[in-house]
Amino acid sequence: MMWWYGPGMNGWGYGLMTVSVVLFWALIIFGIVALVRYIGRAGQVTTERPTPQQLLDERFARGEIDDEEYRRRVDIMTSGTRSRAKP
């Protein structure tokens, strides 16, 4: 250190340096943790879409369709044909 150059750092200088170093390392550690969590979560993402039967079951469970509509749509899906709307 160059103590001969002047009075050197006072209490505020040491305090600011300490806070700066602590913030620097906190940001580095936070960045590493965020990166590890992001990479770990990216591997868990599934692009699996629900089947039409699952969607129909969910709508029936939520009460969006009644049992008659549910059975009619299940019959249409299992038979492989579509009913044509009457004009």
pTM, two decimal places: 0.43
| DSSP 8-state symbol, 60 | H
Cα 40 from chain centroid (whole Å): 11
Q: What does the alpha-carbon distance between residue 26 and residue 17 come to, in Å, rounded to a whole number?
A: 14
Residue 12 in any domain: the answer is no
Token readout for 70 is 């549910």
Overall number of domains in the chain: 1
- pLDDT at position 8 over 80: no
Q: What does the alpha-carbon distance between residue 71 and residue 79 come to, in Å, rounded to a whole number?
A: 12
- pLDDT at position 36 over 80: yes
Residue 77 in any domain: the answer is yes
pLDDT of 59 reads: 92
Query: Higher model confidence: residue 2 or residue 48?
Result: 48
Domain hosting 60: range is: 50-87
